[in-house]
Structure 1
Amino acid sequence: MVFMKVSFKAALAATLVVMVGCSSSPTGRKQFAVLPDSQMDTMGVESFAEMKKETPASPNATLRKHVQCVADTLIAVLPNKYRNQEWEVVLFDDEQVNAFALPGYKVGVYTGLLKVAENQSQLAAVVGHELAHVIARHGNERVSTQFATSQALALGYQLSGEDSPEKIVIFQALGIGVQVGIILPFSRTHESEADLLGLEYMAKAGFDPRESVQLWRNMSTWTNSKTPELLSTHPSHSTRIDDLEDNMSPNLATYNALVAQNKQAKCY
């Protein structure tokens, strides 16, 4: 039993050592992303193609133009590598309150989101958040982390001796521990990082960053998740609002400077 525990800890520790410092996100956070970005792009393009087959685009030309304008205005302030790509933006005719961006420069917005994002700036808060996931390579990081932790568990299992009911129970518990202790915190970190990067993008693009807070107040009335934050892939609405407000001042100054020059976003 001691050998099993030591073997697992050694394998997991080796994985975590590799996970520290392989690359950095736009905020300077150390991250672990081992897949080639070209492979992630291919996966994103293929996934988006399947989504377009399964869900029709909205027939509402006015709404499509609005969403495209918001996305284009945000894309125009992204780092060069991303600003100069040919992004595809689709408004899907679906009532779910959601949006996403995928590697391969694909953006999807669902019509249901427009019932919660009540103006251009609130929509920009969501789209900016989703663009940030791509720019920060969160998809690559999630896939890489899940692969590394699963391999560590598999190695520990193989080195721990013969199968037994006790061994199976222990490794099931370890699997839950990895999920709660590594995978979920990484996901919550990604969400918080995307919130703050999205806040920066929307302010630079001339959208009112204060509307990001109102968006999450709107969200809190539409969704009523009772999942504890510890076991959730997303921070709570209140945590997100607090983080946005804590980082509001410099972004509001950026926005106000654009307003003074009459350069605010105009996607009405």
Structure 2
Amino acid sequence: MRWIHCLAVGALSVALAACTTSPTGRSQLTLMSDDQLDQMGAQAFSQYQQERPIVGGAPDRLAQCVTREIVAALPPRLQQENWQVRVFEDDSANAFALPGGYVGVNTGLLEITENQDQLAAVIGHEIGHVLAQHANERASTQSATNLGLSVLSSAAGLEGAGGQQVMAALGMGAQYGILLPFSRRHESEADTIGLRLMADAGFDPRASVALWQNMANAGGGQPPEWMSTHPSHGSRISGLESDMNEALQRYRQAGRAPNCGQP
């Protein structure tokens, strides 16, 4: 069909125009500018600070120190950003990093991490998302997928109740076949990048495996991996262990010994 050929040519043209490469060598579709992402990161960080209490004292000093050490191991362009770090009063074991140089750590995460190295594994992972432009890629993939489904619907004449059912099925196929696998790939890639970053900063990369064992022991059911945006704990541990030899070499070569304290 001619419309399928046109759609394929159009999609290929967009992909070629916005094709970049991640730190691990993977090809990416990135349609948004750095300025757009930085603005979105600043807005999200500002909103997060308005919604949750900010914690100071020892937790803040620990998060600031670990982030500072990891940032020192980043490429020069990201070292130049004025990274802002906040600890939030939140029981969920979570952290995040946003484009533009923003890091948030929840107090719930500090209760699970046993030492500075385990916290470095999380912060390195989150900064890895920024380094690999995952926010850009996810937004771009979502936009391209929605555009493709819209064009497909129009070109195929999928109208009425029957057409809506077909489009709903196609949408679910895109969710489980494209968007969620991309998210799981991003998480695994951020694990790899974060492992390198923490090792380059002088944090023991073996702590990353212990961290995810702690996460698994903390409880909480996980959906089937194919329905989740994150790999299972077992998959993450296996991936980290497969990258450990390289990480340990980086750790030994770092010549640094951060002293940020304990959670």
Same-fold call, TM > 0.5?
A: yes
| Partners of 1:15 and 1:149 within 8 A in 2 | no
SS across alignment from 1:40: helix
| 1:8–1:155 Cα contact (<8 Å) kept | no
Seen in structure 2, the aligned counterparts of structure 1 residues 108 and 82 have a Cα distance that, compared at 3 Å, is same
| 121-130 or 19-28: bigger deviation | 19-28
Inter-partner Cα distance in structure 2 for 1:212 and 1:237 = 12
Structure 1 residue 246: Cα displacement: 0.6
Among residues 29, 45, 57, which one is paired with 1:32 in the alignment?
29
Q: What CA distance in whole angstroms lies between the structure 2 residues aligned with 1:48 and 1:177?
A: 32
Q: Which moved more, 1:248-257 or 1:78-87?
A: 248-257
**Distance in 1 between residues matched to 2:158 and 2:244, nearest whole Å:** 56
C-alpha separation between the residues in 1 aligned to 2:208 and 2:8? 38
Which 10-residue stretch deviates more, 153-162 or 142-151? 153-162
Q: Please tell me whether residue 264 in structure 1 is matched to residue 260 in structure 2.
A: no
**Counterpart-to-counterpart distance in 2, 1:58 and 1:227:** 32
CA distance in 2, matches of 1:44, 1:9: 37
Of 183-192 and 163-172, more deviation after overlay is shown by: 163-172
Alpha-carbon distance between aligned partners in 2 of 1:24 and 1:212, rounded to the nearest angstrom: 25
- Tell me the secondary structure at the aligned position of residue 55 of structure 2: coil
Would the alpha carbon gap of residues 120 and 9 (structure 1) be closer, same or farther in structure 2, given more than 3 Å must change? farther
- Distance verdict in 2 for CA 1:224–1:83, change over 3 Å: same
Q: State the aligned residue count.
A: 260
Deviates further, 215-224 or 240-249: 215-224
The whole-number CA distance in structure 2 between the counterparts of 1:14 and 1:194 is 30
2:257 partner letter: Q
- For residue 55 of structure 2, the aligned residue among 55, 58, 63 is 58
How many angstroms does 1:14 deviate by? 4.5
- Which of 44, 47, 52 in structure 1 is aligned with 2:44? 47
Report what 1:255 is aligned to: 251
Q: Summarize the alignment of residues 173-212 of structure 1 with structure 2, pairs less than 5 Å apart.
A: 173-212=169-208
Q: Does 1:105 find its partner at 2:101?
A: yes
For the residue of structure 2 that corresponds to 1:100, the secondary structure is strand
Unpaired runs of 5+ residues, structure 1, are none
Deviation at 1:128, TM superposition (A): 0.2
Give secondary structure in 1 for the equivalent of 2:97: strand
**Distance apart, 1:162 and its partner CA:** 6.0
Partner residue of 2:128 out of 123, 128, 132: 132
Taking structure 2 as the reference length, the TM-score comes to 0.93
Question: Residues 147-169 of structure 1, C-alpha deviation per residue, up to 9 Å, x if partnerless?
Answer: 01001111111222262221111
CA 1:12/1:97 → structure 2, altered by over 3 Å: closer, same or farther?
Answer: farther
SS at structure 2 position matched to 1:107: strand
Name the CA distance, whole Å, in 2 between partners of 1:121 and 1:230: 30
Rounded to whole Å, the distance in 2 between the matches of 1:257 and 1:28 is: 23
Q: Check 1:196–1:173 CA distance in 2 against 1; reply closer, same or farther (3 A cut).
A: same
Partners of 2:222 and 2:232 within 8 A in 1: no
Distance 1:177 1:17 in 2: 23
* Distance in 2 of aligned mates of 1:53 and 1:222: 29
CA deviation profile, 1:126-175 (whole Å, cap 9, x unmatched): 00000010111000000000001001111111222262221111110000
- Correspondence list, 1:80-229, <5 A: 80-161=76-157, 163-229=159-225
Deviation at 1:257, TM superposition (A): 3.8
